[in-house]
Amino acid sequence: MPARPHPVHRPTTYAVTVLAVAASVALAACSGAAEASSGGAAGSTAQAVPAVNTSPDQKRITATKDERAAALLPAAVRARGTITAANAGAGGGTPPLVFTADDDKTVIGVEVDLAHLFADKLGLRVETPATSWENVFLGIDSGRYDVALTNVTVTEERKEKYDFATYRKDDLAFEAPKGGTWRVTSGKDIAGKTIAVGSGTNQEKILLDWNEANVKAGLPPAEVKYFQSQTDYYLALASHRIDAYFGPNPSVAYHVATAGQTEAIGHFSGAGDSLQGLIAVLTRKGSGLAAPYAAAINSAIADGSYAKVLQRWNLSSEGLEKSEINPPGLPKTD
């Protein structure tokens, strides 16, 4: 899913090696033009993770209907008994969010699982059409889709047009070869390291801001590298030509789980030091769907089914204690 970050102006006070201008690993938190803030540390992980099921037979986590959440649904939705929860999985998608299973046709992923789980809580049958990122919003605007679960970050700009019910943290992560002792808990920890990042992303802005601050503080600069493709990034990481990759936590978690050669060595909010970025169910403003979804999510949190879904996709670190309706989002930018 393409990001919509604002332009990044690279400082010239330190070394930046550009191998190619590209997106590196897809999935830059899908958080719109406002996703260029510095990140706050959220710990690090270096533990064993469960295998990822990429077959079409998903054996999804299910849940029982929550009558109080269902009672909040608009009467028309409750009467028809179905809901459409779109995702941006067209063209293959981005694992582990939404992507095509081993049969090359079944759409799977954590967003699909959560769409089914929350529909269970609302007592509804759910359809999960895969479309493009742009068409997700167009479909919500036109009423073609009721809601969307597709890694949409809450922003102040989006809140003017849409209502949100949060269900995951929007986090970034550092990925490094397994077995090392280096951990990233603050910007100072990147000093003197060689780090790859996607061009034009919020994580690039964070990295460059940290680097500039380190140089001003008399610390050695990090060398920032950009790669043409995901394969090139993996090869550089495996051959130790880079010390780490800084990218969206879900893509890092998926690669850690499936490749088995790397580990996450630090997590940071995608929204900045003073704000935890949040991923949310996207609904048309005034549709009356944000409140029942928040109630359904909180019910799934309470009974443990929500945690089980995140665990099966290695995203437990992004779990929330409570769903919120329209919380503070990433600020607008000039």
pLDDT beyond 90 at 201: no
Q: Which DSSP category does 322 fall into?
A: S
Compute the average pLDDT of residues 307-329.
97
Q: Give residue 59's pLDDT band: very low, low, confident or very high (50, 70, 90).
A: very high
pLDDT beyond 90 at 56: yes
Of 131, 159, 166, the closest CA to residue 145 belongs to 131
Three-state DSSP at 98 gives strand
> How high is the pLDDT of residue 222?
98
Q: Which residues contact 224 (CB under 8 A, 6 or more apart)?
A: 15, 16, 17, 195, 196, 197, 204, 207, 208, 211
Q: How far is 13 from 216, CA to CA, in rounded Å?
A: 9
Compute the average pLDDT of residues 67-96.
96
**Long-range residue pairs from 69-75, CB within 8 A, at least 24 positions apart, any chain:** 69/121, 69/122, 69/292, 69/295, 69/296, 69/298, 69/299, 70/121, 70/122, 70/123, 70/124, 70/292, 72/288, 72/291, 72/292, 72/295, 73/122, 73/124, 73/288, 73/289, 73/292, 74/287, 74/288, 74/289
Asked whether the beta carbons of 268 and 159 are under 8 A apart, the reply is: no
Q: How far is 299 from 63, CA to CA, in rounded Å?
A: 9
pLDDT beyond 50 at 39: no
> How high is the pLDDT of residue 273?
77
Compute the average pLDDT of residues 115-120.
98
48-57, 92-101, 232-241, 320-329: which has the highest mean pLDDT?
320-329
> What six digits make up the tokens of 179?
């077995």
> How high is the pLDDT of residue 131?
96
- Percent above pLDDT 90 for the chain: 76
Task: Give the Cβ contact number of residue 51 at 10 Å.
Answer: 10
> What six digits make up the tokens of 207?
């990295």
> How high is the pLDDT of residue 334?
63
> How high is the pLDDT of residue 200?
82
pLDDT digit string, tens, across residues 257-290: 999 999 999 999 988 777 999 999 999 999 999 9
pLDDT beyond 90 at 43: no
pTM of this prediction exceeds 0.85:
no
Q: How far is 195 from 192, CA to CA, in rounded Å?
A: 10
Q: Cis peptide leading into 2, omega within 30 of 0?
A: no
Asked whether the beta carbons of 15 and 221 are under 8 A apart, the reply is: yes
Asked whether the beta carbons of 172 and 44 are under 8 A apart, the reply is: no
Mean pLDDT value across the chain: 86
